[in-house]
Every structure is written in C-alpha cells, then in structure tokens.
C-alpha cells in the first residue's frame, strides 16, 4: 500500500558546518555575487550542480539564506539553488512570502530557469541579480525550460528589479569547470507534449 508523508527537502550536509559570519553584511553587489559564486564552486566540490544563490536583505546586505543546486544528491527536481535559498529564507522569516517582512534580493550565479522564475515571483522578492546568462548554462548542456523571451520585462512590470551580468566571467568559469551530471538535457522543447 502506498502512503505519503510530509515533504522534507535535504540541504547539503556542509551547509550545517559552513563557517560564515552572518552578522557581517554584504553591502556591495559584487560581495554578494562573490559569495554566491563561491557557493556554486563549493556545490560542485561536494557533488552538487554548478549553481549558487542567496537571499539578502536589500537594505542592510544581511545574508538571509544560501542555496545551491542539489537536484542530483537531494533526489528532487525542485532543488535548484534559487528555490533552496528562497525556501530557506521563508523558513528563516516564518512566512511563505517575503514582501511583508522587508525588501529582499535574490542573487543567483546564473539567470533563473522557468521553475525559479515562477517561484521567485510568488515569494515576493524585490529584486534579482544574476551572474552568468542563460546561454552560458545552455552552452554546457543545461536547459532553462520554456521561459518567456520577455521575462526581464515581465518581472520589472511586477515591480521586481533585474540586474544581469554581474561578475559574469567568474560565474561562467565555475560553470565551465563542472564535469558532473547534466540532468534534463534530453528534455528539449521539441519533445514536450503539445
């Protein structure tokens, strides 16, 4: 007989022992992106995907929650870096949405895929900052899914500011160093059900 349980999504073991002084803010956008690129690098080293993300308080630069791509080790297609960071931020703030708790920024080492675009919209972040472009992820075989060509404009229309190509070359370097599994690469648009 089948039965279902509460869903528990794993975070990497190393998060629990990762030494970071959270009382020290990250006031400059390059500092925030640098941390996120380091997360992507650490993710690869520990068997995860080559993507990092984090949620920061937009006004103070305080780190609220980190995220890495943990799809393969965590056995869940939900576990993109942005989703992990946003879900942990929601846990930290005790709410399914962030907007009523302040102004928050999602920083991600690569532009968001179709899943992460949806999630970030519903969490109520005020801004998103991206490192590498989608085509950089595509160049190593990852798939961003059926995302609107106008995603940047659509986010802005919803009041979410978008900044692209912050430290892009460093983010691309991490992508290109990845030799692990490229999941979903077989799911090309032409194979999707009509």
87 contributes a contact to Zn ion by CB under 5 A? no
Q: Which of 87, 116, 128, 174 binds Zn ion (CB under 5 A)?
A: 116
Q: What CA–CA distance (Å, rounded) separates 73 from 63?
A: 24
The rounded distance, in Å, linking the Cα atoms of 177 and 122 is 32
Is position 32 an interface residue for Zn ion (rule: CB under 5 A)? no
Q: How many residues bind Zn ion (CB under 5 A)?
A: 4
State which residue, 31 or 182, has the beta carbon closest to Zn ion: 182
Q: Which is nearest to 126 in space by CA: 153, 107, 149, 151?
A: 107
How many Å separate Cα 137 from the centre of its chain? 13
Give bridge partners of residue 55 from the DSSP assignment. 65, 106
Q: Residue 24 or residue 138: which is nearer to Zn ion going by CB?
A: 138
Minimum distance between the CB of residue 44 and Zn ion, rounded to whole angstroms?
16
User: Residue 132 in contact with residue 175, Cβ under 8 Å?
Assistant: yes
Q: Of the listed pieces 9-17, 70-78, 109-117, 182-190, which binds Zn ion according to CB under 5 A? A: 109-117
> Which C-beta is closer to Zn ion: that of 25 or that of 72?
72
Exactly one of 44, 113, 130, 172 binds Zn ion (CB under 5 A); that residue is 113
From 32, 54, 80, 107, residue interacting with Zn ion (rule: CB under 5 A): 80
* DSSP at 188: -
Q: What is the DSSP letter of 126?
A: S
31 or 140: CB nearest Zn ion? 140
- Among the listed residues 82, 102, 84, 105, the one whose alpha carbon sits nearest the alpha carbon of residue 93: 102
- Give the binding range for Zn ion (CB under 5 A) out of 25-33, 111-119, 131-139, 158-166: 111-119
> Given the DSSP bridges, would you call strands 63-68 and 104-110 parallel, antiparallel or unpaired?
unpaired
Q: Which residues bind Zn ion (CB under 5 A)?
A: 80, 113, 115-116
């Amino acid at each position: 007989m089948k039965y279902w349980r509460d869903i528990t999504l794993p975070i990497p073991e190393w998060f629990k022992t990762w030494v970071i002084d959270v009382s020290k803010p990250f006031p400059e956008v390059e500092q925030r992106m640098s941390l996120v690129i380091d997360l992507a690098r650490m993710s690869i080293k520990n068997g995860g995907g080559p993507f990092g993300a984090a949620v920061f308080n937009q006004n103070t630069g305080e780190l609220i929650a980190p995220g890495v791509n943990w799809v393969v080790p965590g056995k869940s297609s939900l576990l993109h870096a942005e989703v992990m960071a946003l879900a942990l931020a929601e846990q930290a703030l005790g709410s399914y949405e962030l907007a009523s708790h302040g102004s928050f920024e999602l920083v991600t080492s690569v532009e968001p895929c179709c899943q992460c675009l949806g999630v970030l919209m519903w969490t109520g972040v005020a801004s998103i900052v991206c490192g590498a472009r989608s085509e950089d992820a595509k160049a190593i075989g990852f798939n961003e899914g059926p995302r609107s060509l106008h995603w940047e404009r659509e986010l802005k229309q919803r009041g979410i500011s978008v900044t692209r190509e912050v430290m892009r070359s460093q983010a691309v370097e991490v992508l290109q160093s990845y030799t692990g599994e490229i999941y979903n690469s077989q799911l090309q648009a032409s194979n999707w059900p009509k």
